[in-house]
Structure 1
């Protein structure tokens, strides 16, 4: 049996389920929010056996042979997932929220530990690959080019970096966060930083990441499903709105997207990188420079693959379904 772990909002995972269902495969769906109070969920661990109950139904009547990890909770770990009556002491409220957060996290880690014997596609414990600096270091060690990168809290150091590197960009040190406020969602983007922007900053600020802006011929989104790479070229430079970050979509004038053949030498290095990060799937972002050089940016272990699959006719949803069923033995 295949267990698909998702937050329920991942469209690509739904397409994979459709292919498994069409192929007469067996699967169950586990949403991260099931571990909260709105759905019956429990697991029992004793000296004789382990029992996982989901929606008052024993999950391991048919033990999962393979787990497809896409996403976990629709909200991140924080006490807002559980309600408690706040009190006047704000410091105590913070301590209670932190405690609830840790209880959620380690309850979930315990559940995942019960499935360690299964073959995983995707990795719940992918924190190492979420560490952008760690990933850049790993890529550099394997001879993959990376952009000059600075993490700093000092305006003076940033000014010097700007003088040395020219135009800079800034983006989150961690993964992209989507903020919601009054029924509106706000997305974080990569942003260009110039001298005027730097002059407006205080002398000291919160730790922030800056990189030399690389002149692009095109952007590459590369989906990895071991042992194959499926690359797509994005001609984002043809539109000022998407030139810095193609996710700032221009729906009236979409970027051209075509299949791209990676050099064998680069594929070997990227495969070693994914192995070093213990990832058998993920989405890799790279740039092909105007000088014909490949520059690595980051890897997202649960990156969307539909946006690569459909424009390039890779049919990744079917390939993933076949991969899962192959390992369901």
Structure 2
């Protein structure tokens, strides 16, 4: 039995499940709306009631952690009881994460969120080139960094900032170029912020990794002012040209060592190929492994590949 952790509206999960059905592989999907009750937990294993279906831990052949979590707690009328049981529930769920992560899987709870600064440190360790950066809350430090690099950007250390307006339209903070006027307008001290050298790209790469195999797509986004700094700021009226791409074997070996050090057998990552020094620069890692935008345009059929790995 394959156990899948996801969320209700995740279309990519549903596409993989279509292949599981075709391949006649049994599965159970847990979303945030799924009713999950713990029947028992012993040193020999555990059993769950998932929407009325009993699942024992020894029956799980593989886990795919896509998104979401395990939701076991009921709501109680007393706030004091609710707070106490929340702490108890956290302890239980932490152990369940540990128990699930011992089962053969594609992705897992432990590696579902990786600190960007930790990844950049690993890049240095495994000789994977990444742009120079600074995290600072002082204007004078930022000016020094700007004077050294000449061309810099700023982006979040974690998830992009997003907000809904009064008309329920979503606005997101994308990677943005920082010029001297922007810096001069800052106060002498501000919240700690991540700044990075802006690599002038010949093209950028979106890559998906699954159990030793690499699937890459080149995006020629540099010719459009709207997408040249951040591809996600997409221009639907003038789409970027894209094409399948083969990474050099030597670069694949470096990235695999980095991912192995984290404990990832599935992930997505972004690279830019520099126009100036013709080097690959590692930008970001998504340990969940976004694959839809690479799969269909490049005919990689990654949904089937994931299903075959489950």
Match of 2:27? 27
Corresponding position: 1:11 with 2:7: no
Q: How far is the alpha carbon of 1:177 from its aligned partner?
A: 4.9
Residue aligning to 1:261:
246
- Offset of residue 49 of structure 1: 5.2
Aligned to 2:148: 164
1:233 Cα deviation from its structure 2 partner: 0.4
CA apart distance, 1:259 = 0.6
Q: CA RMSD in A?
A: 2.7
Pairs within 5 Å for 1:105-120: 105-120=90-105
Which residue of structure 1 lines up, in the alignment, with residue 298 of structure 2? Answer: 312
TM-score, normalization: structure 2?
0.89
Partner secondary structure for residue 300 of structure 2 = coil
Greater Cα offset, 246-255 or 50-59: 50-59
Asked if 1 retains the 8 angstrom alpha-carbon contact of 2:4 and 2:63, the reply is yes
Corresponding residue number in structure 2 for 1:142: 126
Residue 195 (structure 1) aligned with residue 191 (structure 2) = no
Q: What SS does the aligned partner of 2:305 have?
A: helix
Cα distance, 1:255 vs structure 2:
1.1
* Secondary structure of 1:238's aligned partner: coil
Alignment of 1:17-56 (within 5 A): 17-34=17-34, 39-46=35-42, 50-56=46-52
Q: Cα distance, 1:292 vs. partner?
A: 1.5
Cα shift readout 1:174-207 (whole Å, capped 9, x = no counterpart) = 1335444553323231111111111111111111
Alignment size in residue pairs:
305
State the 1:16 CA deviation. 0.4
| SS in structure 2 of the partner of residue 245 of structure 1 | coil
Q: Which runs of 5+ in 1 are unaligned?
A: 87-91, 325-329
Q: Report SS of the residue matched to 1:230.
A: strand
CA distance 1:113–1:56, shift in 2 (3 Å)? farther
Whether the 8 Å CA contact 2:101–2:108 is kept in 1: the answer is: no
Q: TM-score normalised to the size of structure 1?
A: 0.85
Whole-angstrom distance in 2 between the partners of 1:135 and 1:264: 21
Q: 1:205 to 1:319 in 2, by over 3 A?
A: same
Q: Distance in 1 between matches of 2:76 and 2:171?
A: 24
Could you say if the C-alpha distance between residues 85 and 207 of structure 1 is closer, same or farther in structure 2, counting changes exceeding 3 Å?
farther
Partner of 2:283: 297
Contact 1:43 1:111 in 2 (8 A): no
Going by fraction, where is helix more abundant, 1 or 2? 1
Q: 2:55 — aligned with what?
A: 59
Alignment of 1:136-285 (within 5 A): 136-180=120-164, 182=166, 183-285=168-270
Unpaired runs of 5+ residues, structure 2, are none
Q: CA deviation at 1:112?
A: 2.3
Q: CA deviation at 1:10?
A: 1.9
Deviation at 1:41, TM superposition (A): 2.7
Distance verdict in 2 for CA 1:181–1:53, change over 3 Å: farther
Hey, what's the Cα distance between the residues in 1 that align with 2:144 and 2:33? 46
